[in-house]
Copies of this chain bind each other. A is one copy, B any other.
Amino acid sequence: MKILIIGAHGTIGKRITERLSGKHEVITAGRNSGDLRVDLTSKKSIQDLFEQVKGLDACLCTAASGAMDNFRSLTELDLLINMKGKLLGQVNTVLIGQHYLNDNGCFTLTSGIFADRPSKGVTGGGMISGALHSFVLSAAVELERGLRVNVVSPGMAEDSAADFSRFFPDLKPVGMGRIVDAYVETIEKDNTGEIIRVYE
């Protein structure tokens, strides 16, 4: 399979890239590194990316993380800025990519635990992930030509626990192997419209 991994040098993306590189033709993309460059906050940049890599069977997006927020002073503008990459960038990847992927190709997006399990300081992150979940349910009934779409909702990844566990002491780190398995299953199985929650 010909697989595009967006965010291939991020915490999760690099593990997926390692796992898939032997078995598949993997093309990596990222903001600052990878075979190709893409800025997920730019519709044009996403369009340019798909113009460069035709004949894709799968597109995995692990890019972009949300900012933390302070609920007492949170504004609509903060939320819109937060949504720009992780929500609208991933949505655009599907909306634009639907016209490029091979028949029966698949998209896999990345949300996160805060969609379903709130924590202080991540209202924007929760909303983004909740919107992504509903987007994937909807996109699965809309996509044509056998295209599939799923979303992986990881808890706190083991490899980022050193940076984030102080903000979320209640979250138990999830092993990278389990997270990577979830992404790999979305390309190897024929599921669609699934929200794959990877946490206890």
Contact = CB atoms under 8 A, between A and B. Distances in A.
B115 A134 contact: yes
Of the listed residues A75, A92, A135, the one surrounded by the most CB atoms of chain B closer than 10 A to its CB is A135
Contacts of A71: 95, 98, 138-139, 142-143
Contact of A134 (B98, B116, B120, B142): B116
Contacts of A193: 118
For this chain, the copies found in one complex come to: 2
A108 to B, nearest CB: 18
Interface of A: 43, 71-72, 74-76, 79-80, 88, 91-92, 95, 98, 114-120, 122-123, 126-135, 137-144, 193
Can you list the 8 inter-chain pairs with the closest CB atoms, starting with the nearest? A130-B134, A71-B142, A131-B131, A126-B134, A118-B138, A123-B138, A118-B137, A127-B131
